[in-house]
């Protein structure tokens, strides 16, 4: 069995590649980073280390790589794949769509016996596989699209494992937190799919992806942005400051209220979930930089992402949004010169002011009380 995985980065090697290899797949990574591609081609294996006291290590074998800039090579690999996964960043999905589309065209036109193919985007976003499907379908003609409707499935998924930026001599070695969870929407899959060991299949993904995105990722980005305002360079240092921790906790109480109401979660169990997530953030064996966790602030301030969506839901429910608004305000202070989205955000704030910038990126009305709350917080920071 062959899996094609787009993105040999931190989550690609440290989570998806590892799980697929353990489940018996020969994993071929497609990446545009030539250092990673060459090393994977030459060595056919890499090591994953757990961030725990004993630093448990596992060697992932039977892996290979292709150059993701070579459209024809990508398409040929799509033809032969039994499963396709991605972990490239939600904004990059449109860039991998042409190779997938070309490969599907070849694959679906190549004969009558078609095996169903699952394409799973493992990105931090609601409906990432569905977004990828839209990018791919936009490139297919009517005929191939109708074949794809019969043989190709794009189940959405939620992936959870903290994998920081790696600083090792070996470019393939990757250190990961011990915890992981990979949940896939079974209702969007072929009826007789073969389950992959390590993936949890559910009939309704919505509670899983929203709970994950609006707890792990909301808490994480609030820690990064508030931590950054207080001069901390890592999540671990930021959360060690009780002031920062209480703001993160406050934001998770706000999203928690929304989630408990929306999905009828048990409030005590959700509180335990919050406590567990905060425990993962302070893992002393990890060093996770605030610049990674806060990366791409425009994506994180967008209407469907981890700050604005739960805040608008909370506002609609008549509940508090103080800490989520504080997170948005601190996101607007995220001035990181090698993050293109942070640079764009700072330029916009300088040229148009904070109200116009927040309105533009969050799509909230300039007089929306949540936006006004964020602006007031921003002006005090
Ligand atoms: N790191 C985490 O803790 C974590 C956890 C859960 C989910 N995620 C999600 O996983 C995705 C990847 O995150 P990451 O931390 O691994 O980032 P990363 O930057 O380490 O990895 C992304 C990889 O994609 C590659 N890439 C970029 N353009 C490409 C293209 N056109 N074709 C093929 N490869 C391309 C990059 O070279 C890089 O190796 C993101 O959506 C992120 O939100 C990350
Ligand atoms: O990957 P992002 O930029 O969407 O978010 C940064 C982190 O919050 C994220 O990568 C977490 O580490 C991860 O989602 C944990 O499962």
What is the mean pLDDT of the segment spanning 141-154? 96
pLDDT in tens, 36-66: 999 999 999 999 999 999 999 999 999 999 9
Q: Is 99 in the pocket of ligand 1 (CB under 6 A)?
A: no
Mean pLDDT of the chain: 97
Q: Is 4 in the pocket of ligand 1 (CB under 6 A)?
A: no
Q: What is the ipTM of this complex?
A: 0.99
pLDDT value at residue 353: 98
Ligand 1 mutation pick, 6, 10, 15, max ligand atoms within 8 A of CB: 10
CATH of the domain spanning 207-380: 1.10.1040.10
Ligand that lies nearest to the alpha carbon of residue 219, given by its number in the listed order: 2
pLDDT in tens, 263-307: 999 999 999 999 999 999 999 999 999 999 999 999 999 999 999
**pLDDT value at 112 more than 90:** no
Task: Spell out the domain ranges in the chain.
Answer: 2-204, 207-380
Distance CA 338, CA 287 (A): 19
The position carrying tokens 């060595």 is: 43
What is the mean pLDDT of the segment spanning 104-122? 88
pLDDT value at residue 42: 98
**What b-and-e string marks burial along 221-243, b requiring 16 or more CB atoms within 10 Å of the CB?**
bbbbbbbbbbebebbbbbbebee
CATH assignment of 2-204, given 1.10.150.120, 3.40.50.10300, 3.30.420.40, 3.40.50.720?
A: 3.40.50.720
Q: What separation in Å is there between the alpha carbon of 237 and the centre of ligand 1?
A: 24
Q: What separation in Å is there between the alpha carbon of 67 and the centre of ligand 2?
A: 25
Q: Is 164 in the pocket of ligand 1 (CB under 6 A)?
A: no
Alpha carbon 305 to its chain centroid, in Å, reads 11
Residue 42, token pair as written in the block: 């030459």
Residue 219, token pair as written in the block: 């808490």
Atom of ligand 2 nearest to the CA of 90: 4
**pLDDT value at 91 more than 70:** yes
Ligand that lies nearest to the alpha carbon of residue 89, given by its number in the listed order: 1
Report whether 246 contacts 240 (CB < 8 A): no
Q: Is 37 in the pocket of ligand 1 (CB under 6 A)?
A: no
Atom of ligand 1 nearest to the CA of 8: 39
Q: What separation in Å is there between the alpha carbon of 120 and the centre of ligand 1?
A: 14
Confidence of residue 212 (pLDDT cuts 50, 70, 90): very high
Q: Which helix (DSSP H) or strand (DSSP E) does residue 60 occupy?
A: strand 57-61
Report whether 47 contacts 56 (CB < 8 A): no
Strand partners, 6: 30, 86
pLDDT value at residue 117: 96
Q: What separation in Å is there between the alpha carbon of 96 and the centre of ligand 2?
A: 20
pLDDT value at residue 113: 60
Q: What is the DSSP letter of 234?
A: B
Give percent above pLDDT 90 in the chain: 97
- To the question of whether residue 270 is assigned a binding role by annotation, the answer is no
Indicate which residue's Cα is closest to atom 39 of ligand 1.
Answer: 9
- To the question of whether residue 115 is assigned a binding role by annotation, the answer is no
pTM above 0.95, yes or no: yes
- To the question of whether residue 13 is assigned a binding role by annotation, the answer is yes
Indicate which residue's Cα is closest to atom 11 of ligand 2.
Answer: 162
Distance CA 323, CA 297 (A): 17
What is the mean pLDDT of the segment spanning 303-321? 98
Report whether 83 contacts 118 (CB < 8 A): yes
Q: What separation in Å is there between the alpha carbon of 338 and the centre of ligand 1?
A: 17
Residue 332, token pair as written in the block: 């607007």
CB atoms near residue 266 (< 10 Å)? 10
207-380 matches 2-204 in CATH topology: no
Please choose, from the candidates 93, 106, 92, 99, the residue with its C-alpha nearest in 3D space to the C-alpha of residue 134. Answer: 93
**Sheet containing 174-176: which strands, arranged edge to edge?**
57-61, 45-50, 174-176
Please choose, from the candidates 171, 30, 21, the residue with its C-alpha nearest in 3D space to the C-alpha of residue 95. Answer: 30
Atom of ligand 1 nearest to the CA of 33: 37
Q: Is 125 in the pocket of ligand 1 (CB under 6 A)?
A: no
Q: What separation in Å is there between the alpha carbon of 221 and the centre of ligand 2?
A: 8
Confidence of residue 115 (pLDDT cuts 50, 70, 90): confident
Q: What separation in Å is there between the alpha carbon of 212 and the centre of ligand 2?
A: 10
Q: Is 9 in the pocket of ligand 1 (CB under 6 A)?
A: yes
pLDDT value at residue 110: 83
Distance CA 379, CA 332 (A): 11
pLDDT value at residue 3: 97
Q: Which helix (DSSP H) or strand (DSSP E) does residue 153 occupy?
A: strand 152-153
């Amino acid at each position: 069995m062959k899996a094609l995985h787009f993105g040999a980065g931190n989550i690609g090697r440290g989570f998806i590649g590892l799980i697929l290899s353990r489940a018996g797949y020969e994993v071929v990574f497609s990446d545009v980073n030539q250092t990673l591609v060459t090393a994977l081609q030459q060595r056919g294996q890499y090591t994953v280390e757990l961030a725990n006291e004993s630093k448990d290590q596992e060697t992932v074998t039977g892996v290979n790589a292709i150059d993701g800039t070579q459209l024809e090579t990508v398409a040929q690999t799509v033809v032969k794949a039994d499963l396709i996964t991605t972990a490239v960043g939600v904004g990059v999905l449109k860039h991998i769509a042409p190779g997938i589309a070309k490969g599907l065209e070849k694959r679906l036109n190549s004969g009558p016996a078609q095996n169903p193919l699952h394409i799973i985007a493992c990105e931090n976003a609601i409906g990432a596989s569905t977004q990828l499907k839209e990018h791919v379908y936009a490139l297919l003609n009517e005929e191939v699209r109708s074949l794809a409707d019969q043989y190709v499935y794009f189940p959405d998924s939620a992936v959870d494992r903290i994998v920081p930026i790696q600083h090792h001599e070996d470019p393939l070695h990757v250190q990961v937190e011990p915890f992981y969870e990979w949940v896939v929407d079974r209702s969007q899959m072929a009826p007789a799919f073969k389950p992959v060991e390590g993936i949890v299949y559910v009939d309704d993904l919505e509670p899983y992806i929203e709970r994950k995105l609006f707890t792990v990722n909301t808490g994480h980005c609030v820690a990064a942005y508030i931590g950054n305002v207080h001069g901390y360079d890592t999540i671990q240092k930021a959360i060690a400051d009780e002031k920062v921790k209480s703001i993160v906790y406050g934001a998770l109480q706000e999203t928690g209220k929304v989630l408990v109401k929306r999905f009828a979660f048990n409030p005590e169990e959700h509180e335990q979930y919050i406590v567990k997530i905060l425990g993962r953030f302070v893992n002393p064996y990890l060093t996770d930089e605030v610049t990674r966790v806060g990366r791409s602030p425009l994506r994180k301030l967008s209407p469907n992402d981890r700050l604005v969506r739960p805040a608008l839901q909370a506002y609609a429910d008549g509940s508090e949004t103080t800490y989520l608004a504080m997170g948005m305000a601190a996101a607007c202070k995220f001035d990181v010169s090698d993050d293109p989205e942070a640079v764009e955000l700072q330029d916009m704030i300088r040229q148009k002011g904070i109200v116009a910038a927040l309105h533009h990126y969050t799509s909230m009305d300039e007089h929306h009380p949540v936006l006004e709350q964020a602006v007031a917080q921003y002006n005090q920071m």
